[in-house]
């Protein structure tokens, strides 16, 4: 799986225990560092006080950091109660990216019974702020960072973020029009652009087939594809000429994908390709 750049927002609120906030932030970072598919981006102690996000000024610093680093998802955690307005401000700026929220379990109370963290209450305020702003998010739960449940749920979120990073803004190649009798493959190109920033790149099926026909049997890419076919599946009953045609078509499609910077493609194959 591709590595995902995840922006971590460690929220804190005065007068809750900032020492605990610093400790739990460190433990979160250490725990996530063990997930190989995550590149964690977070405020340093030089950027914000103790590396925590306290207020609007910190939120703006974090926004600038995340934009510079090109984060592909947000992980907003309440290290203590957490300032919901700072968290909501960061989320507003990255609305459309996958966003996960989590809280941390409560440490032993201070003498006199005062709660050091109250992270759970902070998640209620934060998620309420996101809801009012119509910012979609997923709630992972309440954890100590070392718990397997935290890493497992985060890994699930990271997989979704990896998919989204390719899905949003995708360039989808459409090779030929859809078959007229197949309504199941209709789509709304304008909605794809509006909702997901996607672009449909149209290409003639005839042009692709003609390019495939023009390729020689000794073309390096065609030869490589033929070798892959023979190595991965049993083609002993398939005529060489048929294999060669398939390899040429695949080579032509690969070149088209590279030249047009396509993320995916759909090809009209019935019945013109068979003929």
Domain end call among 167, 186, 213: 167
The residue among 142, 119, 139, 144 whose CA lies nearest residue 127 is 139
**Within-domain flag for 63:** yes
Confidence of residue 251 (pLDDT cuts 50, 70, 90): very high
Assess whether 159 and 189 both reside in one domain. Answer: no
**Within-domain flag for 163:** yes
**Within-domain flag for 99:** yes
Give the global pTM.
Answer: 0.78
**Within-domain flag for 44:** yes
CATH of residue 43:
3.40.50.1070
Assess whether 71 and 33 both reside in one domain. Answer: yes
Please tell me the total count of domains within the chain: 2
Domain assignment of residue 181, given as a range? 171-267
CA-to-CA separations, 144 to 42, 149, 150, 255, 273, in angstroms, rounded: 19, 9, 8, 49, 57
Measured torsion, CA atoms of residues 9, 11, 17, 20, in degrees rounded to the nearest 10: -20
Assess whether 97 and 187 both reside in one domain. Answer: no
Domain end call among 121, 140, 167: 167
**Within-domain flag for 41:** yes
Assess whether 86 and 222 both reside in one domain. Answer: no
**Within-domain flag for 272:** no
The H or E element that residue 241 is part of is helix 240-259
In this predicted model, what pLDDT tens digit does every residue of 150-159 receive, in sequence order?
999 999 999 9
Does residue 112 register a pLDDT over 80? Answer: no
In this predicted model, what pLDDT tens digit does every residue of 1-33 receive, in sequence order?
689 999 999 999 998 889 999 999 999 999 999
């Amino acid at each position: 799986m591709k590595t995902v750049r995840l922006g971590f927002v460690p929220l804190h609120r005065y007068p809750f225990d900032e020492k605990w906030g610093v400790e739990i932030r460190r433990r979160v970072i250490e725990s996530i560092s063990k997930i190989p598919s995550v590149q964690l981006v977070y405020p340093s102690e030089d950027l914000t006080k103790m590396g925590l996000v306290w207020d609007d000024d910190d939120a703006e610093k974090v926004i600038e950091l995340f934009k510079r680093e090109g984060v592909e998802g947000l992980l907003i955690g309440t290290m203590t109660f957490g300032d919901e307005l700072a968290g909501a401000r960061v989320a507003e700026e990255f609305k459309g990216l996958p966003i996960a929220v989590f809280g941390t379990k409560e440490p032993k109370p201070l003498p006199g019974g005062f709660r050091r963290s109250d992270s759970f209450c902070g998640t209620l305020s934060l998620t309420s702020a996101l809801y009012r702003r119509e910012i979609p998010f997923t709630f992972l739960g309440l954890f100590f960072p070392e718990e397997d449940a935290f890493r497992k749920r985060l890994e699930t979120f990271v997989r979704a973020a990896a998919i989204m990073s390719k899905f949003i803004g995708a360039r989808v190649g459409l090779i030929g029009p859809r078959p007229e009798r197949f309504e199941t493959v209709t789509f709304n190109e304008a909605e794809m652009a509006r909702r997901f920033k996607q672009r449909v790149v149209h290409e003639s099926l005839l042009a692709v087939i003609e390019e495939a026909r023009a390729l020689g049997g000794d073309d390096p890419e065609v030869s490589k594809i033929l070798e892959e076919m023979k190595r991965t599946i049993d083609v002993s009953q398939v005529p060489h000429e048929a294999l060669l045609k398939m390899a040429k078509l695949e080579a032509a499609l690969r070149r088209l994908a590279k030249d047009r910077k396509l993320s995916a493609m759909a090809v009209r194959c019935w019945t013109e390709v068979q003929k």
